[in-house]
Amino acid sequence: MDHAVVIGASMAGLLTAAALHRRFATVTVLDRDTLPAVDVHRRGTAQSRHAHGLLARGRETIDELLPGITAELVAQGAMEGDLQRNARHHHSGRTLARGDSGMIGLLVSRPLLEGQVRRRVSALPGVHVSPGKVVTGLLSRDGRVTGVRLADGEPIPADLVVDAGGRASRTPLWLGELGYRPPEEERVGIDLRYGTREFRRTPGDFGGDLVVVIAPTVESPRGGVALALEDDRWIVTMAGYGEGPGLGLTEFAEFAAGLWAPDLHRLVSTAEPIGEPRTYRIPAGIRRRYERLARFPEGLLVVGDAVCAFNPIYGQGMTVAALEARMLLDPDLRPLPFFRRIAKIVDGPWEITVGGDLPMPGVEGNLTPKVRMVNAYLERFHAAAAHDPELALRFLRVSNLYDPPPSLMSPGTLLRVLRSGAQRAVPVPA
């Protein structure tokens, strides 16, 4: 095949191009932004100013698509760490037990990560990244998409078009224009509001740990994360459902004091603040069910946030985008089989985020008996995982998208959780 067009030069679009260049003579990535020559924040990725978690499986997958990129990022200041040994995970009022997971995470700012990915992708044979290009419609003939149309009217023919345009994807609208039904949309209204500040990092902070995660609970529906970044920085992002932190240092620290674990409050109360604070708001988690459509034009695919935009506090978006991009290496690029394959990638993280969001105050959605049961079990699981490194590892394998959520309820795991509870209930001999 000769030419593929990718709409969007964010992480999903760039990784899509990295996969497609192995199959197409030419790949053109179109983005409405002016893409920076240096690693700075850009308008089209407003969320880049906030903490970005690159899960271990995401790092591995990006390294598959762009071999050696982890080493390149580390050479520029990014840091690697074991996501159980070098991290503090606070869930359900408990701190998970430490251990050696073998899951290596990459601590890196979004501008450095995206900038290096863009440099690598732009250097691939036949790949062209074109900034300042606004796609306003699709070209089609005989039930097949044959290219895109730009805002200035210029047509760009293509054998395949991939929409990686994010939450604002216009594919549902374009499908209607072509006489197709748009996908069913699942929406969970979360009204997540978050704020971010950066602080100077010193060697003694958190005893050398690189990651701190404080997950919200129903009783304390605020969460936060601190990630070590290049240039001796901490990036601290905190969020709440329907409320976010004030950006003044005093207000930011007061919000941190409201978290149920003290780690972030200690940091923001004592560390040197640097840079400008930022806020962001996510009104809803959205999943578009392309895999359920009966008809869809050939020559068009959709990936990344254009398919499913998760609650970002779970840090899954970039990893899911990388896994979807790798699916483009499959010989079968017919749309409906492709959507069914990536639905299996999305199912797990969507289940995790929706299950975590629905019990929170103010969240709009159907809190089913199944979700209540699973959440009650997870509280017991986390209580056991606080002193059982193997259970903590199993949880982190799920949250890093190696294993599906049901694995936490396998017979062996259930027995281990139950035994842990029974052992803790037995009085310690005098």
Contacts of 250 (CB under 8 A, 6+ apart): none
Residue 366: is its pLDDT beyond 90? no
The answer to whether the CB of 216 falls within 8 A of the CB of 190 is: no
The answer to whether the CB of 195 falls within 8 A of the CB of 279 is: yes
Q: Give the integer Cα–Cα distance in Å for 362 and 364.
A: 6
At CA 207, angle to CA 212 and CA 389, rounded to 5? 60
Tokens 């959605």, located at residue: 365
Name the nearest CA neighbour of 239 among 219, 256, 253. Answer: 256
**What digits encode the pLDDT tens for the residues 340-358?**
999 999 999 999 999 999 9
Q: What percent of the chain has pLDDT over 70?
A: 94
Phi, psi of 81 (to 5 degrees): -160, 150
Of 99 and 365, more confident = 99
**What digits encode the pLDDT tens for the residues 191-216?**
999 999 999 999 889 999 999 999 99
Check residue 216 and report its DSSP letter: -
Please tell me the predicted confidence (pLDDT) of residue 424: 53
- Dihedral angle computed from the Cα positions of residues 265, 242, 239 and 358, in that order, rounded to the nearest 10 degrees: 120
Please tell me the predicted confidence (pLDDT) of residue 429: 32
Of 46 and 313, more confident = 313
Please tell me the predicted confidence (pLDDT) of residue 42: 55
Q: Whole-number mean pLDDT of the chain?
A: 93
Q: Span 402-409, mean pLDDT? A: 96
**Assigned token pair, 33:** 């932004």
- How many C-beta atoms surround the C-beta of residue 97 within 10 A? 17
Task: Report the length, in residues, of the chain.
Answer: 430
Please tell me the predicted confidence (pLDDT) of residue 34: 81
**Assigned token pair, 420:** 């842990």
Please tell me the predicted confidence (pLDDT) of residue 99: 97
Tokens 């073998």, located at residue: 102
Provide the total of helices (H) and of strands (E) in the chain, helices listed first.
Answer: 12, 18
- Looking at residue 394, its amino acid is R
Name the nearest CA neighbour of 54 among 194, 210, 196, 202. Answer: 210
Please tell me the predicted confidence (pLDDT) of residue 430: 29
Residue 121: is its pLDDT beyond 50? yes
Q: Give the integer Cα–Cα distance in Å for 211 and 202.
A: 14
Global pTM reads 0.94
Phi, psi of 135 (to 5 degrees): -85, 125
Please tell me the predicted confidence (pLDDT) of residue 47: 67
Helix (H, G, I), strand (E, B) or coil at 407: helix
Name the nearest CA neighbour of 60 among 123, 92, 104. Answer: 104
Sign of the CA dihedral 229, 192, 82, 113?
A: negative
Please tell me the predicted confidence (pLDDT) of residue 427: 35
Residue 73: is its pLDDT beyond 80? yes
Q: Where residue 369 falls among pLDDT bands split at 50, 70, 90?
A: very high
Residue 313: is its pLDDT beyond 90? no
